[in-house]
A and B are shown apart, each in its own frame.
Chain A
Amino acid sequence: MSFPWANHYEPKHPLMQWIDQRLPLPRFVYGAVGAGYPVPRNLNYWWNFGVLSGVALTIQLITGIVLAMHYASNGALAFDSVEHIMRDVNSGWLLRYAHANGASMFFIVVYIHIFRGLFFGSYKAPREMVWLLGLVIFLLMMATAFMGYVLPWGQMSFWGAKVITGLFGAIPLVGEPIQTWLLGGFAPDNAALNRFFSLHYLLPFVIAAVVILHIWALHIPGSSNPAGVEVKGPQDTLPFHPYYTAKDGFGLGVFLIAFALLLFFAPNALGHPDNYIPANPLSTPAHIVPEWYFWPFYAILRAFTVDIFGIPAKLLGVVAMFGSIILLFFLPWLDNSPVRSGHYRPLFKSFFVLLCIDVLILGYCGGAPAAEPYVMISQVAAAYYFAHFLIVLPMVARFEKPLPLPGSITEAVLAKNTIAA
């Protein structure tokens, strides 16, 4: 660990010394989550969501590997094999519901984790790489979840695969060959299902690898904190263990309760009943929508209904949808206010609230049918989304007068406690 206040690993036990000299794994663990990772003392509960994302990934890995022992990735068998998991396999219903709802829980915590970063300016120097790697994880997660949703081979699976691969068909000239290449046919079929299963198995492990890079990059400058000022000395930090293992443990308990409520009392609430109808290439369900976690992006896709400057509406929608995520890769350079935390940026704070509302509206419209007034609302909301990052943030950084920053983390903590007392 290279930040100046990190503790160095000095194993006492001869066995640990022996291992450490040959493979510095204990050192790695100590530096990542042990007392070797001193953490700012003022982290609030928004900082729980990184660990929770890791837990959610682990849950998906374990339940997924078990499901794969019973699942058959063949167009003729897939749907029935999922029903077999639900009805015949011992505890199969539990594992499948845990995996399907686990994906939703995963996205919930990751979205909160991302918005935490947006509010507290975690993407700013020197943590840009942490932010960029996080976005790579997010893209991989979306690809994984999309391909997972195709596996049960129900109506939503089939038409989701068709529509999402159709997005690539919008690329001028090479679009259609690319779509055919992705599917291995002219419509989703056995070839597509098999390759999606292969990749759905692979990508979560790629995600796990990028998570390691993400944490590695984080541990070079160390964690940021709600005050947004850097650590000045040992009085500003606490060892990760036991202080934050305990705080994360509490958060984990709350997460698991929420997960259990969803899993045991409303396991189909976030799913779509049409996916219990086997895939039928001849009939599109009347209302096709992706899973809820794609809704904001889906609304942006559908917001383009007319050609602009001779560019087909179809291409515009696709470019805007991918652009809405690619945009975030430039965020560290779009918002160049030196103040990190939104708590000390009054103007930024109001626009941040507006952005949250905007994304919720986009999400709502993305889940609604493709009809008015939703299309018009999506158009306005999509316009604001882009304006927020491309116009509002650079302007705010320029003209806003931030509140005075605390001298140190300890000062911020003490000031807060005296007010409360």
Chain B
Amino acid sequence: MATGEQAIDPHADASEDGVRRRDFINIAAVSFAGVGAASVLVPLVNQMNPSADVLAEASIEVDISAIAVGQAIKTIFRKQPLFVRHLTAKEIAAADAVNISELRDPETLAQRTKEGHKQWLITMGVCTHLGCVPLGAGEGEIKGAFGGYFCPCHGSTYDTAARIRKGPAPKNLLVPEYVFNSDTVIKVG
């Protein structure tokens, strides 16, 4: 075998710029295989993304008429907890008294609620740190030093506008998209 190969001049088929026909075929074949391998990777990676049934979660309607001032409820929106809280006048005043330039994630209570419904604080019950459910919505749960929510996992503390005030969480509790269908019914999502 070796003797046979020695007889052939390896540069015999080189063109003027020194590129051999074989180099071209080599690069073309390997690139083609590379593109093929990469396109197989796409479905393999993509299958990990949320499937259609998980994404197809519809919006929900919540009747808020029974929530008394100072009370809150927990419900489920897209498999995650949703807090609906009926703020007291004192809680609203406390939230408004804060100088927002001092906040980690500066937002006013008015920006976080709907016009004319400032007493209704509607947020996801998912701590923006690592996703635990903060305490403070259920009856008798501790609300933390700022009177809003307290996350037991790593101690994030939220105020009465559910804004992050202390602890490792970077953001305020998320306000989902919602509208007031009437004064007593909201539609989330």
- Cα A166 to Cα B79 with chains together (Å): 16
> Measured between C-beta atoms, what is the minimum distance from A187 to chain B in Å?
5
Chain A 35-65 residues near chain B, CB threshold 8 A: none
Q: List the A side residues contacting B79 at CB < 8 Å.
A: 185-187, 189, 281
Instruction: Flag whether B76 is at the interface (Cβ < 8 A).
Output: yes
Which residue in B51, B78, B104, B133 is a CB contact (below 8 Å) of A186? Answer: B78
- Contact among B78, B81, B169 for A282, CB-based, below 8 A: B81
Q: Cβ of A312 and Cβ of B167 under 8 Å apart?
A: no
- Asked if A307 and B104 sit within 8 Å, CB to CB, the answer is yes
Q: How far is the CA of A370 from the CA of B78 in the complex (A)?
A: 29
Give chain B interface residues in 132-176, CB to chain A under 8 Å: 132-135, 151-155, 166-170
Cα–Cα, bound, A117→B143 (Å): 47
Chain A residues contacting B182 (CB-CB under 8 Å) are none
Check A370–B155 contact: CB distance below 8 A: yes
Count of interface residues, chain A, beta-carbon cutoff 8 Å:
39
Contacts of B20 in A (CB 8 A): none
Question: Separation in Å of the B118 CB from the closest CB of chain A?
Answer: 26
| CA A307 to CA B170, docked complex, whole Å | 9
**Could you tell me if A317 and B168 are in contact, using CB atoms closer than 8 angstroms?**
yes
Cα–Cα distance between A282 and B130 once the two chains are bound (Å): 15
Nearest neighbor of A161 in chain B, beta-carbon distance: B131
Beta-carbon contact of A282 and B131 below 8 Å: no
Tell which of A159, A182, A314 touches B132, judged by Cβ atoms closer than 8 Å: A159
Q: How far is the CB of B61 from chain A (nearest CB, A)?
A: 19
Smallest CB separation, A188 vs chain B (Å):
9
Contacts of B51 in A (CB 8 A): 184, 191
- With beta carbons under 8 angstroms apart, the residue of A181, A189, A302 that contacts B54 is A189
Q: Which of A24-32, A207-215, A284-292 contacts B (4 or more CB under 8 A)?
A: A284-292
Question: B74 an interface residue at 8 Å Cβ cutoff?
Answer: yes
Asked if A286 and B152 sit within 8 Å, CB to CB, the answer is yes
A375 interfacial contact with B, CB 8 Å: yes
Residues of chain B within 8 A of A392, CB atoms compared: none
A181 to B47, CA, bound (A): 9
Contact B130 A304 (CB under 8 A): no
* B104 partner residues in chain A, CB cutoff 8 A: 307
Q: Indicate whether A284 sits within 8 Å of B155 (C-beta atoms), given known contacts A185-B54, A191-B54.
A: no
Assess whether A163 is interfacial by the CB under 8 Å rule: yes
Q: Mark A152-176, 1 if CB is under 8 A from B, else 0.
A: 0000000100110111010000000
Q: Is A191's CB under 8 angstroms from B50's CB? A: yes
Any chain B CB within 8 A of the CB of A283?
yes
Using Cβ atoms and an 8 Å threshold, which residues of chain A touch B154?
301-302, 370
Could you say which residues of chain B place their CB within 8 Å of the CB of A375? 155
Q: Chain B nearest CB: distance from A144 CB in Å?
A: 18
Given contacts A184-B48, A288-B153, A305-B168, A169 and B130 within 8 Å (CB-CB): yes
B134 proximity list for chain A (CB < 8 A): 284
Asked whether any CB of chain A lies closer than 8 Å to the CB of B114, the reply is no
- Whether A184 lies near B50 (C-beta < 8 A) is yes
Assess the B80–A167 pair: CB atoms within 8 A: no
Is there an interface contact between B167 and A305, defined as CB atoms closer than 8 Å?
Answer: yes
B39 beta carbon closer than 8 Å to chain A: no
* Residues of chain B with a CB closer than 8 A to A182's CB: 48
Judge whether A195 is part of the interface by a CB distance below 8 angstroms: yes
Whether B153 pairs with A284 at a CB distance below 8 angstroms is: yes
Q: Does B111 contact A (CB under 8 A)?
A: no
CA–CA, A191 and B53, complex, Å = 11
- Is A302 touching B168 in the complex (CB atoms < 8 A)? yes
A165 to B132 Cα, complex, angstroms: 12
Nearest neighbor of A195 in chain B, beta-carbon distance: B48
* A182 nearest CB neighbor, chain B only: B48
Given contacts A184-B51, A185-B79, A282-B81, contact A313 B168 (CB under 8 A): yes
Q: How far is the CB of B153 from chain A (nearest CB, A)?
A: 5
Most A Cβ at <10 Å: residue of B45, B54, B81? B54
A180 contacts partner chain B, Cβ-Cβ < 8 Å: yes
Which residues of chain B are within 8 angstroms of A315 by Cβ–Cβ distance?
170
Residue from the set A281, A284, A307 with the largest chain B CB neighbour count within 10 Å: A284
For B155, what are the chain A residues with a Cβ–Cβ distance below 8 Å? Answer: 305, 370-371, 375
Residues of chain B having any CB pair with chain A under 8 Å: 45, 48-51, 54, 74, 76, 78-81, 104, 125, 129-135, 151-155, 166-170
Closest 10 CB pairs of A and B: A166-B130, A284-B132, A370-B155, A312-B170, A163-B130, A166-B131, A284-B133, A313-B168, A162-B131, A370-B154
Residues of A at the B interface (CB closer than 8 Å) are 159, 162-163, 165-167, 169, 180-182, 184-187, 189, 191, 195, 281-288, 301-302, 304-305, 307, 312-315, 317, 369-371, 375
- 24 of the cross-chain contacts (CB-CB < 8 Å) are A162-B130, A166-B131, A167-B130, A181-B48, A182-B48, A184-B48, A186-B50, A186-B80, A191-B50, A191-B54, A281-B80, A282-B76, A282-B81, A284-B134, A284-B151, A285-B152, A288-B152, A302-B168, A313-B170, A314-B130, A314-B169, A369-B152, A370-B154, A371-B155
